Amino acid sequence: MAPFQEVSKQSALHPKPAGLVLHYGTAGFRTNAKLLDHIMFRMGLLATLRSKKTKATIGVMVTASHNPEEDNGVKLVDPMGEMVTPTWEGYATQLANAEQEDLLAALKDVIEKEAINMSQEANVFVGKDTRSSSVSLSEAVLDGVSALGGQSKDYGLVTTPQLHYMICCQNTQGKYGEATVEGYYKKLCQAFIQLTKNASNCTDDQKHLSVDGANGIGAIKVREMESHLKKELHLSLFNDGSTGKLNHQCGADFVKVQQKPPTGMKINSGERCCSFDGDADRIVYYYTDSEGQFHLLDGDKVATLISTFLKELLTQAGLDMEIAVVQTAYANGSSTNYLEDTMKVIVRCTKTGVKHLHHAAKEFDIGVYFEANGHGTVLFSKAAEEKFQQLAEDSNTNDERKRAALLLQNTVNVVNQTVGDAISDMLLIEAILAIKGMTIQQWNSIYKDLPNRQLKVKVSDRRVIDTTDAERRAVSPTGLQEAVDGLVKKYSRARSFVRPSGTEDVVRVYAEAETQESADDLAHEVSLAVYRLAGGVGGEPKPLH
Ligand code: 16G
Ligand code: MG
């Protein structure tokens, strides 16, 4: 069969290093860029099969997000712009690990299992981040697509959420928007301008935001977008890639993990700042106060701001809808308490990883999901969107309800519902702050984070730890959860859990408590329990103080 001949021929140009084993992890394949050429070619093949199977356009994004410049990675995007389904993640791993001579057999296995009609057309959209390795790696993806006779469109440099957006636009025949980068800016910026039109007394100070672009694709895209904002938002862009290195001492991950501002950014005390990660699907906000103290507003604070805003609008619009916030075990306990006890919104907890949160958020009329690390978005059900529209167009509606309905409609349009999106989240947050006339300090004081600590423990095999209850409890090894429970009881307002990382060969330990010292001590004691009960390697974890 001709297509397979082409696969054989082309795959010889993208050979797999013998014996190399890689897994499609929480967010696709990710490792040193030098090891990825064959993976990219094969993901081009797999995306083509997925496209034939779903009779829809599929996306392939070449990026390693917040990892260092030397790394790269690849994620597949399903027809509605969501992450590829778990069964196909399994196929991705199989195809990636087939030795060179077994590739055709592995490919035919997927075709057979999924009963794919090979004469069906295929369309694949490809995007890449700013890493130097992304140029040749995205070409390898395109080779994979053409080797199976698929059509491809190369979007070149785009953020990960922009590619997700394109896929959704394409497969909804433009209902979600126009599948171009210009179309994306137009849709989001028009909605932003409509939203902030209502913020009549917004000062120039309030309109100013400093952005750390992590020296990545987000910086390029913010620049491109600026003219569409019609000066309604004044952005000072730092770490724009002109001199600094990608994600090096900057970006959302650095700021969140180090709890300090990025280098390369001029920060005036009290001023609102935000950081994107390397592929612009995460955002965190922060400021330093007049004493020079750093204050981080992470994904939990963002979820609280957005859900509060939406709940108020629903009340003003007189709409009775179910609104929920979806978090993971890493959400600060104060945020969960505030949302449940004060805001009275439904809170759900899922396993770590965007696909789990996204899935859970779909269950509600409005599902706001955010990981503490800053990845998140809002999902609106079709019914909710229709109700907003009906109300906005209803001539019998009073002014207050109509205003709320219009704000809800524009909120829907500023949000990228396909996946967490730093640019879209930034516009929504900025609009909310402007409409509410709220400073970043006021936003920060909605609730006070509980002190917390995260540690890593090296063990010989992290798979010995199995968890349940959205990773909040360990079911194996024997005795570990009992040990954690016993330690937690020693501290006030304390909580702790352990889980194997999905992206690194370590066990992660999280602890929070009333004081930083207690959180640090608890995290250390739990690390010791992991080390002793789950096969720790290297030296015993040392106390932090
Ligand atoms: C990936 C996930 C992120 C998660 C992180 C956890 C996506 C797009 N990204 O980066 O959501 O927080 O992994 O890493 O799903 P860990 O398993 O090493 O703690
Ligand atoms: Mg990212």
pLDDT in tens, 258-272: 989 999 999 999 999
26 lines ligand 1 (CB under 6 A): yes
CA distance 371 to 446: 18
Q: What is the pLDDT at residue 287?
A: 98
pLDDT for the residue numbered 198: 72
Ligand 1 pocket member 27 (CB < 6 A): yes
What is residue 2's predicted lDDT score, i.e. its pLDDT? 60
* pLDDT given for residue 204 in this prediction: 78
Q: What is the distance in A from the centroid of ligand 1 to the CA of 116?
A: 31
Q: What is the pLDDT of residues 477-500, one digit of tens each?
A: 999 999 999 999 999 999 999 999
- Which secondary-structure segment (H or E) carries 62? strand 57-62
Under DSSP, the state recorded for 250 is -
Of all protein residues, the one whose alpha carbon is nearest to atom 10 of ligand 1 is: 27
Measured in angstroms, how far is the CA atom of residue 370 from the centroid of ligand 1? 12
pLDDT of residue 429: 98
Single pTM value for the model: 0.96
Q: pLDDT, tens digit, for every residue of 73-91?
A: 999 999 999 999 999 999 9
Of 11, 51, 65, 138, the active-site residue reads 65
Report cis status (omega within 30 of 0) of the bond before 68. Answer: no
Q: Please give the full DSSP string across 17-33, using - where no structure is assigned.
A: PTT-----BBTBEEEEG
pLDDT digits over 116-168, tens only? 999 999 999 999 999 999 999 999 999 999 999 999 999 999 999 999 999 99
In the predicted model, residues of the chain with pLDDT beneath 70 are 1-3, 200-201
What does the angle CA 213 – CA 262 – CA 511 come to, to the nearest 5 degrees? 110
373 lines ligand 1 (CB under 6 A): yes
Q: Is 504 in the pocket of ligand 1 (CB under 6 A)?
A: yes
Q: What is the DSSP letter of 342?
A: I
Residue whose CA lies nearest to ligand 1 atom number 8: 27
Ligand nearest to the CA of 160: 2
User: Catalytic: 65?
Assistant: yes
Å from CA of 257 to ligand 2 middle = 14
pLDDT tens for 199-210 read 766 787 889 999
Atom 3 of ligand 1 has which residue's CA nearest to it?
Answer: 353
For ligand 1, whether the C-beta of 371 sits within 6 Å is yes
Determine the distance separating the centroid of ligand 2 and the alpha carbon of 141, expressed in angstroms.
20
Ligand nearest to the CA of 75: 1
Tell which atom from ligand 1 comes closest to the C-alpha of 328.
12
Contact in structure between 22 and 37 (CB atoms under 8 Å): no
